[in-house]
Structure 1
């Protein structure tokens, strides 16, 4: 699956639009991670557990978007975007979305 943030794929022609595709996941913080994050907040620096959690969440969301595009018969996704939002205290949603297309 080709995934680009642009409206077209370089050196490819869009033959067919398949439509909007998306994938999302909601990730909640872990109490143990919160304790370590609180300590990091005092001394500063990256909170690696949260970075790892969000990396995994992005991978899940993108994977679900790709599956959505495959079901529609696409071989590429253009105008790809990632977005995040807080859905409740301690939980964030990651959504990956774009336009599924067939390119040649």
Structure 2
């Protein structure tokens, strides 16, 4: 009978997320011991009338529209946090191959989805000669 060893905490210190999030398909120095499958986080946002009004004037001159930049940055953070919470509830300590998907709904709302694969990763064991034990 195999003894259960809880997964190590691998999220970087200071990370706002409870699990490590990587856009890579694998994680150098770690191996995926268990795959839980797809996880996602989703948020739909609509700007209030005042912000839309201000942003429409800014767009006439070209350049960045800070009201929308801030909304999308916040939306991405919320989507990633929801995805991480789903992975954490499954028992994962990392998400690999994370991606974003953004869409417009009815020309008034923005949907932001974050998705990836929830896994348990563990550090790769190396013996003294540097040969891989895994």
Band the TM-score falls in, shorter-chain normalisation? over 0.9
TM-score by length of 1: 0.95
Which of these two proteins has the greater Rg computed from alpha carbons?
Answer: 2
2:31 to 1, 10, 13: 13
TM-score by length of 2: 0.75
Q: How many equivalent pairs are there? A: 104
Q: How far apart are residue 94 of structure 1 and its match?
A: 0.2
1:86 to 99, 104, 114: 104
Structure with bigger helix share is 1
**RMSD of aligned residue pairs (Cα, Å):** 0.9
Higher relative contact order structure (alpha carbons within 8 Å, sequence separation ≥ 6) = 1
Detail structure 1 runs of 4+ shifted over 3 Å in the superposition.
none
1:52 to 60, 63, 70: 70
User: Could you list the runs of 5+ residues in structure 2 that have no partner in the other structure?
Assistant: 1-18, 123-134
Question: What is the DSSP-based 3-state SS (H/G/I as helix, E as strand, rest coil) of the residue aligned with 1:13?
Answer: strand
User: Could you list the runs of 5+ residues in structure 1 that have no partner in the other structure?
Assistant: none
Are 2:63 and 1:29 equivalent residues in the alignment?
no
- Deviations for 1:52-85, whole angstroms, at most 9, x for unmatched residues? 0111100000000000000110000001001101
Q: How far apart are residue 87 of structure 1 and its match?
A: 1.9
Structure with bigger strand share is 1
